[in-house]
Amino acid sequence: MATMVVARPKLILLFSGKRKSGKDYVTDFIHQRLGNEICCILRLSAPLKEQYARERGLDFEELLGSGQYKEQYRADMIAWGERRREQDPGFFCRLAQMGVTQPVWIVSDARRLSDLQWFRTEYPGQTRCIRVEASENTRRQRGWEFTPGIDDAESECGLDHGVNYDWIIHNDEDAVPLEEQLQVLLSLAEQKAGSEAS
Ligand SMILES: Nc1ncnc2c1ncn2[C@@H]1O[C@H](COP(=O)(O)OP(=O)(O)O)[C@@H](O)[C@H]1O
Ligand SMILES: C[C@@](O)(CCOP(=O)(O)OP(=O)(O)O)CC(=O)O
């Protein structure tokens, strides 16, 4: 694979969380607050879903969505992706970063320790880890239901332990408003985006 020169980021925010915890909602909120000039959302699942959809003649946009369409293929996509990660743990990380020029990267869907290790190795010092949390009751209200083989597997549990999170965002209805919870993170991103040193 041709290596593409990637602009060095000044800050990488690696988000993880269970299905329907609100990873996309929270990262979209941050992206809207910071603006597309200084930050970009990277989805590790996007290059996976694109290739998977191409190989199986499926609708890539639907796989990117939050509806039931992707759930039909989730288990097979997980297995398909894990076969590739076994050969090259950074395969999807490298693809997701291609072409990004903004100084602040928001990775919305880290799932495995290998994801964290890849970014921490490639970009030591720039990487922060954030966990989005919501109660199972809240997640059920958003359409989640426990699925054996999915919710008890690495894809959903790989970052449950062994990670010192820099921030934990509580994303239930009765939680502190996101704007307040994210204040320090947003200030750090704006400061890093404006700084010279990477
Ligand atoms: N704080 C929130 N307020 C309102 N709706 C939310 C909130 N967090 C998540 N949602 C909604 O819940 C659903 C699941 O959120 P999403 O970000 O897609 O979860 P994940 O990416 O973790 O699976 C989406 O419809 C989203 O709009
Ligand atoms: C095969 C996957 O990449 C599918 C991920 O799809 P989404 O990122 O859409 O999942 P949620 O937003 O948490 O519902 C998971 C993996 O193990 O790589």
pLDDT in tens, 164-186: 999 999 999 999 999 999 999 99
Q: Which amino acid is at 163?
A: V
Q: Which of 148, 161, 140 is nearest to 16 (CA)?
A: 161
Does 78 score more than 80 pLDDT?
yes
At 11-45, the pLDDT tens digits run: 999 999 999 999 999 999 999 999 999 999 999 99
Atom 11, ligand 2: residue with shortest CA distance? 19
Bind-site residues for ATP: 18-24, 142, 171, 181
Give nearest CA residue, ligand 1 atom 26: 25
pLDDT in tens, 111-153: 999 999 999 999 999 999 999 999 999 999 999 999 999 999 9
Torsion of CA 92, 123, 165, 17, to 10 degrees: -20
ipTM: 0.98
Q: Across-strand partners of 40?
A: 105
Residues in the annotated binding site: 18-24, 142, 171, 181
